[in-house]
Each structure stands twice: as structure tokens, then as C-alpha cells.
Structure 1
Amino acid sequence: MNTHIKKVSAQTSVDLSRRSFLVGAGTAGLVLGYAGVPGIVGDSAAFAASANFEPSVWYAIAPDGLVTVTCGKADMGQHIASTMAQIVAEELGANWKDMRVQLASNDPKFNDPVLGAQITGGSWSTMMNFDAMSRAGAAGRMALAEAAAGLMKVPVEEVTVRDSVIAHGKSKKAMTFAEVVKSGKVTKTFTPDQLKAITLKTPDQYTMIGVSVPQLDIPSKTNGTAKYGIDTFLPGMVYGKIVMPPVRFGATVKSVDDSAAKKVPGFIKAVTLDDKTGTTSGWVVAVASTYANARKAAEALKVTYDNGPNRMISSAALLEEAQRLQRMDETGLFFVKDGDTAAALGSAAKVMEAEYTTNINIHAPMEPMNATAEQKGDIWHIYSGNQFATRSGAIAAGAAGVDPKFVVLHQMWLGGGFGRRLDADMMVPAVQAAKAVGKPVKVIYSREDDMTMDFSRPLTYQKIKAGLDNDGKLVALNHDVVSAWPTKRWGIPDFLSPSVDKKGALDAFTVNGADFFYSVPNHNVRAILNEMAQNATPSGQLRSVAPGWTFWAVESMIDELAHAAGKDPAQFRIALLDGKGKNDGGAQRLRNTLLAAMGLAGYGTKQLPKGEGMGVACVSSQERATASWTACVAHVAVAPSGEVKVRKLTVATDVGTQVHPDNIRAQVEGAALWGLSLAMYEKATLKDGAIEQTNFDSYTPLRMSQLPEVAVSVIANGEKATGVGEPAVTVVAPALANAIFNAVGARVRSLPITADAVKGAMKA
């Protein structure tokens, strides 16, 4: 089954596919974008004649020849702004030293060409924008070439464009981009059909794509001029510190005693949030002249709560509820329903069942959540780093009680995102506090605020039942996935998917990956919503999303089945990746990455010491329709105590077209280590409705001293560019579990993998 990514309906959204593309000319600069968009620049004719310095949808070329690319994606350290500029520069023919980047506001004209909204996630950015950015660059090159040819009085088909220069070899004439822009003679326009008809470069013609050019954001990030949300300072600005309730969600404020807070210097007001968007619950903001004073005032406030309906819920209760729901035949909706699994399991020679669990996980980006809000006239200005401007603008508007068109989001660089900044909770207290005191307010979460009020990765419970025939061939697999549904919480119907039996809408972002590329004739996947978890632990998307838990279960079970069939787990997978039917193309690419990882790791060719083992896993993260092909071989050493030492992770990934090789390797390495951290070290727990872990002493991600060797093989075959930020996260945990089994015969089925669990499984 394919997961279809649908266009998100947004306030004043514009479908880019219906716009005319215009390369306009003016004495000020060459502006490339889409014309005829209400609220941007008026009609095409007016836009073409405008001497507008402002960059439009994609990029602008100034009279000095500098090319400024506007990035509609959140840049959280993955250098996506530079990637977008590199794609433009390739087709435009610009010199890299002339390229600049800036981040887009929440203006609908910056909506994603495919999604129809401003969202950064799913490892979608490069794969979904490569074609549009390439065509924008190519159109600019063609317009510049035509204008320069006219000015030089030479045939346009005889000019070349490279390094920001249009040259005519026969006459030795040449003009720079700056000279052509200053001339005001660039007037060529492109219709959507003409844009689509442009012949783009083939990979053998690339001079920029595939080159590790200097990242454009590095200088400002190293000299301190890059501005993150936490760096925002406005005239007259004051500070807000949140007083959090004793439960994650559902509390209400009964009373606030601010008598002690009034003694704190600079204290202004205690604001009880009235959040009609439902993003927050039971929050109070102490507003003061400085952040230090705001913290002191917050500590001095005496807040009385009704802790609400979730006050007694624990992680154990969430798991028990998930198990109860899974046992009920009528719960859930089908994500995959192929063949007749009941009949196939009934006649199978061997049937296996297993349960797989993951715990709550916290994002914990190094820059805690923050936002600054200021009202100027009718317009609200919000300064923050955000991954989902379309939704966040609406939430900020809801907090202010205004139409979303009156909210301007000023996008900042993100000090880490990983899905956390898809949510806009930090904007709600900033807006309501600013409204209450009549001044700009900056709200900064403490680390404790950020952890206990995170929109975390949900606790998940999965049960798989599978059958083998007499030849050890996998003939049936039932897979139930029970969790909170983060995407449903967003309240965006177009981000939900119809069940295959058309009985309702499910959150595919909780089951993606379960629709794997193995050929299994009878295959069911059921998505089940855990309402208790949905209410008590409002969950979000954490780097890798569903494949972080679905492939944990699938790739562990495939390994268990291989051993039950008496077959090598890697060869068992290769046989299942036969590319039959709907799996054609994807299965072959996945098989190739598995073979590449095996070869690089020396899987099956080394005699390992006692207590050591290698394990494999291969995944098609993120969604089936936007897959990246990734495989891992994990090498571990397991002590009699159950302690696991990860010696090496070998990761192979098929990226299609690689834009920036060094950045791809960095992303894959970082993703693999994030996957290791989730697999071995990270766990949050719920007790009495609250997250117990409040800082890095109790929530313990991977430390530098725990890093293994990481080897990466990048397969660049010229196919469509894929995403690399998340897939390697999803492949590590099952590879580790499979390696542990091969080392000492201990099968662990719960994340994180602990020494106690391994030792217990060894004894069993």
C-alpha cells in the first residue's frame, strides 16, 4: 500500500501548480517567482515592470550579482537552506561565492510546492523540492541568457552560462549577472507548461550537484551573527517564565496567589493562559522585566490546580490499555489488508507470535523552546524557530483571538528541531502574556519545562503473528500497532489517510514502515489508537516518526523467523526482497543497500570471538511513497552481565542523487547515532500523569564516551534524490537486537535495550 502525501489546506493557501512562473525585470533586481498570486505583488504585468528589490518565492538576483535564495524549510542544523541554494545554483549557472540564503516567513506564497503548506519533516525537503528549485534555476538561466544575447547582439543558442557569467565564445563577448540585471532587459516569462517542459541537466552534466561546497550558514553560525529564536531582543521587551502544572495535560488553574511574587523586583503580572486551541492546559506565566526576575516570580507564585482526569495515569497503565485494545478484534483500522492471513496462519507449518514495545522518548533539542510575541497595530509578530509555519501561525492566531492573516511568523535558525518544533506551544504563552501586559514578551522554557511538557514520541505496543510453510517461507503476517496518534492531534484531516477498507481515517504516521517491501502474500497491518495515551501524553513526531517503532518490530520478527526457519537472517531477507508486484523497484534497491552494508562490514566472513555477534536490518523509511533505502550491520560484544558494547555500526543508504556528499554522510552518521541512543539509553516514564525525567541526569541520551565506530556507504545512482535525515535512525535498533541474539542467544523485544533485559533473556 502506498501512503499518499496530500496537500494541506491552509489559510489563504495557493496551489503553486496553477501559477504562472515569471522572471521579471527592473532596475533594482531580477526577481524569480510565481506571478498572479493575490496579496503578493499584483498581476503579472505590474510585477514584470516593478523595480522590486524584494526576493520572491524562490530567489532574487540583486544589481551587484548576489543571488539570495529564500528557504521555505526550517534549518535546524541540517543545512537545508544551503541545499536549496545549491540546487538553484546548479541550473542557474551561478558562482557559489555569489549565493546567499534567507529564511521564509509564514506568507502562503512560500508554501511547499508539493505539500501546499510550510512544513519541515519526514526527510521530505530535498526530494520534494529538488525538481521545483531546479526548474526555477533553469528558468532564470534561460531568461538571463536571452537578455544578455540581445544586449550583446548574438544568437542566444550560442551563449553559455557559468560562474555567474553569460559568455559568447565566437565573439569573446561576456556579461555578468550583475550587468544583465542592471540593464533592466530581463523580461522572459514562463507558463507552468513551459516550466514543466524545460530540459534539466542530466547527472553527468552537473558541476555543483554532488560537490561538497562550503555551507552558506556556517560563517554566521560561527561568528555569532546567526539569530536563533532565543536571541530575539525587541525594544521594551519583557520576559515570561511558565509555571507548569503537576500533570502533562488536563489540569486547570483554580487560583493564583501572587502576593509573594509582587515582592520580586520587576514583577509585572501573572497571566493564566486561556488557550482555546487546546495546545496547553493549566499553565500560568509570570511576567517580569528580566528573565532572572521572571524565574524568581514564577517560583514565588502559589498556584492551586485541579489536576484533571489524567492525574493517576502511569506508563504501566498506558501499556496495559494498549494490550487490552489489541486483544479486541473490533478496534483499529486497517493500513494493509492483503490476502487472507487467518486462513494462511491456520495452515502454516510453524506460527510465531511476539510482542514489541517502545517507551516514551523526549526530543530535548539543545535550544529549549522559546518565542517572542509583539503586537503592532492589528498585526501580531512572532519570533521563533518553527517546523510547521502553516499550523503554528493558526495556533498563534487562536491564542491571540485573531484571524491567522494577522499573524506574521519571523522564522529563525533552529537550535535543534527533530520534530519538536512542529508544535507551537511556546507561542501561546508569549502571545497571551504580551496581550495581557501590552508589551513584547519573550518566553523561554527551562530544560525542565521543555522535557516535562514535550510532545514526546509515544509509548507503543505491537504484536506480530507470522507463519512459515514447510519450506521455511514466510506466508502470512499480522501486525497490530497501538499508540497515540500525533497527527490526529494536529486536527488536520488531509494529513490522515483512509483505511484500506474505507471504514475510517487513520494516522499513517504511526504505522508507516509496516507496509514493507518484502513479498508476503498474506499481510495485515492494523492501526489502533490508544485514547488514554492520546489524552495523557499528547504526542508529537520525533525524528524517524513511525518507522522508529514499526521497523523495530518488523525487522526483529523477520530475524526471529529466519532463525526459526534455520536460515541466515540476511539471506532470508534477500529472498523476501524479490521485487514481485507492488514491490518492484523498491525491493531491489533495498536489497542492494543490504548487500552493500554486508560487504562493507564483512558480514558472514569473520570468525567473531565468543560473546560477539553481527546483526542486520534493512528499512524503507520514511513513507513507502517517499522511501529511502537503508541497511545496517551492527557489531556488538555482550558480557555475561548483559552489558552490551556496540563495536561498530555499518550503514549503507541509497540516496538517488546526492547534492552535498559531506552533508549526507554527516546526516547518516548523526541519524545512526540518534538511533543508537534511542535503542540503548533513552527512556521517559509517566507517573501520576507527569513525565518523571526533568533533565539530562535522569533522561540519558548517548554520551560521547559511548560512541562506536560508524562506517557509511552512500549509493548515488542518479535516481530521484531521497531523504537522509531520518532513515538511519530506524534501522539501528533492530540490527542491534539481532546482533545481540547472534552473540549470546538473547532476544530482547523492548526499547531501550538494557543490560538487565539482555541478562534475563540469556537465562531464559
Structure 2
Amino acid sequence: MTKHEKIAVSRRSFLVGSLATGTLTMGYALMGGPLGIREAMAEGSFSPNIWFEMDGDGMVVVNITKAEMGQHVGTPLAQALAEELEVPWENVSIKYVSTAPEYGLFVTGGSWSVNWTFDQLSRAGAAGRIALMEGAVKQWGVPLAELTAENGMVMHAKSGRKISYGDLVKSGVTARNFSEEELGAIALKDPAKRKLVGKSVGALDIPGKTNGSAKFGIDVFVEGMVYGTPKVPPVRHGAKVTAVDESAAKKVAGYQGHVVIEDPTNTTTGWVVALADSYPQAIKVRDALKVTYDLGPNTQVSSATIMAEAEKLQKSAEGAQLFVKDGDSAKAMKGSKVTHEATYTTQLNIHAPLEPMNATVEVKDDVYHIHAGNQFQTLALGLVPAVLQIDPSQVVVHQYHLGGGFGRRLESDYILVAAMTAKAAGKPVKLIYSREADTTMDFSRTITHQVVRGGATDGKMDAMEQSVVSAWATSRQAPAFLADSVDKKGKVDPFSINGSDHWYTIPNQTVTTIMSPQAQSATPSGQLRSVAPGWTFWAVECFLDEMAHKAGKDPLAFKLDMLDATGKNAGTAPNSVGGAKRLANVLKVAAEKGGYGKDMGDGVGIGLAAVSAQERNSPTWTACAAQVKVDKATGDFRIQKLTLVIDVGTAVNPSGVEAQVQGGALWGTSLATKEVATMENGAIQQDNYDTYTPLRMEDIPEIDVTVLSTGHYPAGAGEPGVTVTAPAIANAIFAASGARVRDLPITPEKVKAAMG
């Protein structure tokens, strides 16, 4: 790839055309000024092959801008395009493309991928079908309305003629410009007539992963590269390198020097990268380097001091910003017959993906080519030029499969460090974090402290207040995504508080969010799979269960009464049609399938929870019935079964959705019952899988997943299975034993203490 030309973009239009004999290309053409499509082609101001390409054999390659990290995201996206293009599925393959201006935003997270791109890729396929049919019109001289397309063929019923897409491509397809308005006007298929969307097909990325041809970032090799690995300071954040003694390191075979990282973004502090001819040699160099530090301001910070500060902030409300303000909750609660208050907390959690962070950077023709698995390439495209003081056109990120993401690879730290090291070393660098560096320097899930208050009268909620103290990952990572508070008096990080704006109808509700300075400084947080709903729904769903018991009502009936889809909870097109009624439906189905209300025997309880995924404007209606057995003498518990029901609107690939929910439920169970990291003296104490201990095979419960495809617009499936499990498990433990645990992770010791 050569250096990108600078383009003055005035609008996007859609190009279908044949730039070279034998290949059909599809994509958005970036139009410079008043130029038309043909002039733009002559000027070279766009790149072809944006969404798909088709060869003379009718074989289709769909270009994917989303990151593949085990969720098989390319398959449903290809299904959407192939459905409207009308090609045989066996003719379809996918390619994960490198960054280029034509593609726009590169980000994979938030359960957004299918939701954001289904319509776009469907229309890309439909436009391609139309262009191919117009090619047949030109050949046959018949009206377009008399033609049909199916299974890679264009047919004219009146004359009995038909021609394959491949033959049309071979003959050349005239360039066709679709404006955004024309694209939007294309009538897509009636869902009842779909052949691929809604069908469980095998993931297209699996063959490459099983035969070894699929490439991950760790697999990259470029000519002349050296290996680098970071020597990290004894505190998570805030250290500064004051001196480096390399005398012993010079004696290590393969030594290629070292680079002190001076990161102007302050993403990494106090790092030195050791360089050598091989990775094992780089590890030896790292260990031989003697580095002196100023350890900075966080040496006395611990998990306990962060939580203590959060509790203090709760009491003072210092820095509180409004996220939800409906009615007057304080006034309403004074008139409630039943009131309740509870505090919910979560501890530090680590991403710990199996493939450690890595990036390879080489410079060719003044362009920095970055080879890495990443979830937010657009962020890297902004940060790397700023850090290196180069033009944005001099950076390209090449996509690779991710050996685990979970939100960790939304960060650009490893890319920035690799790029700075390559620039300083003057040669290609392959940077690999050790497992210990990867774990102790993770952008962890923040410690959170939540206080929830509520009032009810005659079995119905009058008011609810929720206050959340946490680190704000967005403030550090991408401050442009901060939002105005409800009263416009400050900024909030929506990704630290989403989920508190739930779909239950409570006439008076107040939600505030407070940034924790200690957590923000000492434990720079990131977005861990499920993001804020991993703690906000934990509090909401447990608290409503508690309120139900205090109000003398069954928790299921209590929640269903509030899921009435009135007012703001009625839902809107396209994402939330049906509103809270759809959440009520999955909750009822989960309760029935999970055996809620049945006598399960002594020490066995079933708990319920219902969530709407990460963001209110793109809900995925999900419910869980957890069946848990508790030993009342010891507090030991066993999660016997998780019954999950999810309404994704349209399940593009139902088996893929089911797999996502299964994986999410296990991830959520791990966070709920096993995983915890701790900070002491400014340092994360766990550094590998022996001390940071996710769920093991022996702990896995039976999982029953029901996927409801209700015909509405597709929603995401990656995260709601995570958020719904912890509160369902906690509510089940209470049902089984009377023990109410409000701190994650739930342990036998906490259960026993809660039983008194």
C-alpha cells in the first residue's frame, strides 16, 4: 500500500463499476469537490473494492472492517450483503481490510457491529444486484422491470434467457453512481423471503483458524525486524524513568539496544523497551537492564483506599453529575410506605486475553505500517500521528485476527509503544508484552461503589435513586465521547453509567455519576466486555429484587408491573420497537423455562434478572433465570443451570447468536464468582493465570439459550449475556439461603457472612 493522497471530501456516493475487465467492484467513492464519478476515477481520488468484489467466476469477497476476535463477526455481515446481492453462499468469502479513509470509522465493541452495518451492507448487496441487472438490460435491450435475479443469475422470464453474474462481470459492467438518497430508497427484501439472513451457517473464518492459514498479530514477520518487550515499572501508572544502566544488557547475545518511552498521551508511564534479535533474547535484555524510577504519586494507593475515597465521595456528592432526572425522587420517597437503601460494589477486573498485546511496525516510503489485532483502529489512526508528529496519511493499520479482545484491544497503548520504538530504533520492531506486563499494566475494569435508594407504595415503585462512583475510561481514552449532563452543568462519561437508564417505569428517578480521582490516576480503566452495565445492572436488578421482597411482592410480578412500555419506555424505531414489553416477554419466557416458582428442594433457589444491553438507544432484550444450590453450613454454592432468553430482533445467524450468549454468560459467571484483581502500593498484585483465576471447566453450569428472532431490526449479542448473569446468580443465592451479597465477586465466605 502506498501513501494515501489527501482528499477533500464533500460527500459520499456509491459506485458500482468495472475498473478492470473481469472484476466488479462495489463501494463508496470519496468525491472531491464537484467531480463526477468518471472524473473521480480519472483523478484517482477513491479506492475501489470497498464493500465487495466479484470475479468472472461469480465468486464474491466481502470486505470486513470489524475486528474478528472469536465472535465470527464477518459471517453475519457477509450474510446481509449476500442476501440482497442474490449469490450462492458457497461463492462467498470474507477479507478483513486495512484502514483507508474510504471506510470511515473502524471500531468493534458495544455489541454494535451487526446493528450498525446490517442496513449498510444489505443496501450494498442490493445496489450490486441492480447494477448487474442493468448490465443484462444493456445486453438484451429489455426493461429492467422484466428481469429477476436469483442464485447468481439474471433471468428474463418472457424470453427464457438467463446469464450468470460471472459472465456479466466478464463482459464489463458500466460504472453506476448511487447517491445516498438512492441507496436509502432501495426496497430491501421482505423478511419472509430471505434465504440467508436468519439461517445458521458455518462461520467463514473457522477453516483458516483450523488449517493454520489465519493470521493473528502475533504471527506477523517483516524483513529486518527486531523484537521488543517492555520493562515496566513497579507501579501501574505515574512512574518516570530517571536513569537506565545497560552495561549488563550489552552482554546479552542479540542485544539491539533499548528505548525509553516518553509518551505524550500519558497512556504509558515509566516504560523502557528492550530490543534484541529474538523474543527470548529480548526478555533476557529486559531483565538485565537496570532502571531507576521516580515512582510518582500513586505509591500509596490500594484497592482499599480507592473504595474508601468512593464512599467519601458518595456521602459528600462532590463532583456528582446528573445522568437521569425524572420527576422528584427525594420528594416522592418521603411519601412512600416502604423505603430501602443498599450499597453495591465491584472490584478490579482484568481482561487477560490469551494472546498478549503485540504490534509490529515498519516504515516504507514514509508510511508507518502497523500490523496488529485491534478493536479501535480509528483511535490509533488519530494518536499515532499526534505522538510521532507526522501526517495522518502516513499511518495504515493492517487488520489481523485477535486472540481475545473483550475490550482490551480498544486501547492503542501497544501500538503507540511499538511505533515510538520503531521510530527511535530506525528499523522495524515487533513488540510483544510478556504475560506479566500484559496483566499488571491492563486497562482494568474500574472499582465501583453504588448507593441505590428506593420507595414503594402498594407494591409499586414510587421513586428510585442511583449514585455511581467509578473511574471514567472515556475521559482518559476518548474525551470527545463525553456527554453533557442532563442539567447541562457538566460532563458525564456515558460508558461509566449506561444501564442505569433502565426500561422500568418508575415515575421519579434520579441517577448521578461521580468520577473517582484515585481510580482515574492509579488504575487507568478501560472498557471490559459489557462496560458499565456490568455494574449498573448488577445494582439495578439486585435492588429491585430486594425492593420486591420488602414490599411483599414476588420479584417477577414486581418487575413485570413496571415493564409496561409507557412514556419513554414505549420504544422507537428502528432499534427499540416494542420497548419494555419485549423485555417483559424475555423475562417471562426465562422464568417459565428456568422453572421459576417451582419447589427446587432445600438450599436450591432460582433468581431472575432482565437487562437491555449496553446502551438504551440500541437495546438487546435479555433475561436469565439462574438455578443455584447453596450449602447453608459453609456458604459454598454451585451454579447448576443458567437459562437465558434473548430477543435480538433479527437473528442474522441464530447459531452465532447462541454461541455469543453462551460465551457471554460464562464470562459473566466468571466475573460474578471468580475474578478479582487487587492493588497494593500502586501496583496490581496478580500477574498471571495462577493468581488471576477465571472460571475453570469444573465450574461451568448447564446453559440453556433461547434466541428469539422477532423480525425487528437486528441488535447485538456480544454483551447482554455478561450483564444479566451476576444479578441473577445473586438473586438465586438469596432465594436459596436468604444471604444477600452485594459485592462482586460473590464468594462462599461472603455468602456465609451474609447468612449471619
Tell me if both proteins adopt one fold, taking TM over 0.5 as the criterion: yes
Structure 1 residue 549: deviation in Å?
A: 0.3
RMSD: 1.9
Asked if 1 retains the 8 angstrom alpha-carbon contact of 2:86 and 2:129, the reply is: yes
Code of the residue aligned with 2:24 in structure 1: it is L
Q: Secondary structure at the match of 2:724?
A: helix
Distance 1:55 1:689 in 2: 50
The CA deviation string for residues 31-54 of structure 1, in whole angstroms up to 9 with x for no partner, is: 111224359x98511456899997
2:507 aligned to 507, 517, 521, which one? 521
Post-superposition Cα deviations, 1:395-451, rounded to whole Å, max 9, x if no partner, equal: 222342322221111111111111000001111221122122221110111111111
How far 1:294 moved relative to its partner?
0.5
Question: CA separation of 1:240/1:51 partners in 2, compared to 1, >3 Å: closer, same or farther?
Answer: closer
Contact 2:323 2:512 in 1 (8 A): yes
Q: Distance in 2 between matches of 1:535 and 1:60?
A: 48
2:428 paired with 1:434: no
- Counterpart amino acid of 2:12? R
Equivalence for 1:727: 720
Aligned to 2:562: 576
Give 1:55 deviation, angstroms.
4.7
Do the aligned partners of 1:55 and 1:68 also contact (CA within 8 Å) in 2?
A: no
Give the equivalent residue in structure 2 for 1:65: 58
Q: Residue 516 of structure 2 aligns to which amino acid in structure 1?
A: N
Pair 1:624 & 2:610 matched: no
State how far apart, in whole Å, the 2-side matches of 1:30 and 1:432 are: 40
User: Does residue 1:461 correspond to 2:454, yes or no?
Assistant: no
TM-fit CA distance, 1:390 = 1.0
Query: Where do 1:133-532 residues align within 5 Å?
Result: 133-469=121-457, 471-493=458-480, 495-532=481-518
Corresponding residue of 2:78: 85
Distance 1:404 1:255 in 2: 33
Identity of aligned residues (%): 51
Larger CA deviation: 747-756 vs 206-215: 206-215
Structure 2 letter corresponding to 1:34: Y
CA distance in 2, matches of 1:13, 1:642: 64
Map 1:664-675 onto structure 2 (within 5 A).
664-675=657-668
Letter in 1 for 2:153: V
d(CA) in 1 for partners of 2:537 and 2:711? Answer: 27
- 3-state SS in 2 of match to 1:19: strand
Aligned match of 1:633: 625
Query: When the two structures are superposed, what TM-score results if normalisation uses the length of structure 1?
Result: 0.95
Quickly say closer, same or farther: Cα 1:211–1:131, change in 2 above 3 A: same
Query: After alignment, is 424-433 or 153-162 more displaced?
Result: 153-162
Given residue 170 of structure 1, which amino acid in structure 2 is its aligned partner? K
CA distance in 2, matches of 1:136, 1:128: 14
Distance 1:106 1:366, change over 3 A: same
* Residue number in structure 2 paired with 1:29: 23
Once the two structures are TM-superposed, the CA of residue 596 in structure 1 deviates from its matched residue by 1.0
Does 2:549 correspond to 1:563? yes
Name 2:520's counterpart in structure 1: 534
Map of 1:114 onto structure 2? none
Superposition deviation, residue 191 in structure 1: 1.5
**Aligned partner (choices 643, 665, 672) of residue 636 of structure 2:** 643
Corresponding residue for residue 8 of structure 1: none
Contact 2:7 2:45 in 1 (8 A): no
Aligned to 2:235, what secondary structure does the other structure show? coil
Deviation at 1:615, TM superposition (A): 0.4
Q: Distance in 2 between matches of 1:66 and 1:43?
A: 29
Q: Which amino acid is 1:532 matched to? A: Q
Task: Give the Å deviation of 1:12.
Answer: 8.1
Amino acid paired to 2:237: F
- In structure 2, C-alpha distance between the alignment counterparts of 1:612 and 1:405, rounded to whole Å: 61
Quote the offset at 1:371 in angstroms. 0.3
- State how far apart, in whole Å, the 2-side matches of 1:713 and 1:672 are: 13
CA distance in structure 2 between the partners assigned to 1:59 and 1:276 by the alignment: 39
Instruction: Render the CA deviation track for 1:705-752: whole Å, top value 9, x for unaligned.
Output: 111000011111100100000011000000000000000100000000
Q: Give the Å deviation of 1:586.
A: 1.6
Partner of 1:607: 599
Distance 1:42 1:248 in 2: 52
**Contact 1:24–1:47 at 8 Å: present in 2 too?**
no
Partner Cα separation in structure 1 for residue 719 and residue 428 of structure 2: 36
The one-letter amino acid paired with 2:552 is G
Structure 1 residues 42 and 94, CA gap change in structure 2 (3 angstroms)? farther
Counterpart CA distance in 2 for 1:141 and 1:740 is 55
Partner amino acid for 1:483?
S
Q: Which residue does 1:546 correspond to in 2?
A: 532
Shift of 1:152: 3.2
Corresponding letter in the other structure for 1:234: V
Structure 1: distance between partners of 2:600 and 2:207:
46
Contact 1:474 1:520 survives alignment (8 Å): yes
Structure 1: which 5+ runs fail to align? 1-10, 112-116
Structure 2 Cα separation of the partners of residues 138 and 374 of structure 1: 39
Residue 656 of structure 2 corresponds to: 663
Q: Pick one of 731, 735, 739 that aligns with 2:732.
A: 739
Q: Which residue of 2 aligns with 1:681?
A: 674
Equivalent residue for 1:706? 699
Distance 1:575 1:15, change over 3 A: farther
Segments of 5+ residues of structure 2 without an aligned counterpart are 571-577
Look up the match of 1:592.
585
Q: Which one-letter code corresponds to 1:211 in the other structure?
A: K
One-letter identity of the residue aligned with 1:411: Q
Cα contact 2:231–2:286 (8 A) shared by 1: yes
CA distance, structure 2, for counterparts of residue 342 and residue 185 of structure 1: 67
**Structure 2 residue identity aligned to 1:302:** K
Q: Deviations over 1:74-126 (max 9, x none)?
A: 11111111221111000000111221211122212112xxxxx2211110110
Query: How far apart, CA to CA, are the structure 1 residues paired with 2:140 and 2:354?
Result: 54
The offset of 1:212, in angstroms, is 1.4
> CA–CA distance in 2 between the matches of 1:158 and 1:224?
47
TM-score using structure 2 length: 0.96
Change (3 A) 1:377 1:185: closer
The amino acid that maps onto 1:30 is: L
Task: Indicate how the Cα distance of structure 1 residues 490 and 177 shifts in structure 2: closer, same or farther if over 3 A, else same.
Answer: same
Q: Distance in 2 between matches of 1:535 and 1:561?
A: 36
- CA 1:436–1:147 in 2, change beyond 3 Å: closer, same or farther? same
Amino acid at match of 1:321: E
Distance in 1 (CA, whole Å) between partners of 2:315 and 2:8 is: 45
Alignment partners' CA distance in 2, 1:460 and 1:419: 18
User: How many Å separate the matches in 2 of 1:124 and 1:13?
Assistant: 28
Equivalent-residue separation in structure 2 for 1:223 and 1:725 (angstroms): 26
Matching residue of 2:687:
694
Equivalents in 1 of 2:551, 2:8: separation in Å? 54
- Compute the displacement of 1:129 (Å): 0.8
* Letter paired with 1:480: S
Instruction: Give secondary structure in 2 for the equivalent of 1:624.
Output: coil
1:564-619 CA distances to partner (integer Å, 9 max, x unpaired)? 01111111100011111111132101000101111211211x22111110000001
Q: Residues 359 and 752 of structure 1 are in contact (CA less than 8 Å); yes or no, is this contact kept in structure 2?
A: yes
Write the distance in 1 (CA, Å) between the matches of 2:517 and 2:43: 55
Find the counterpart in structure 2 of residue 5 from structure 1: none
**In structure 2, what is the Cα distance between the partners aligned to 1:188 and 1:357?**
57
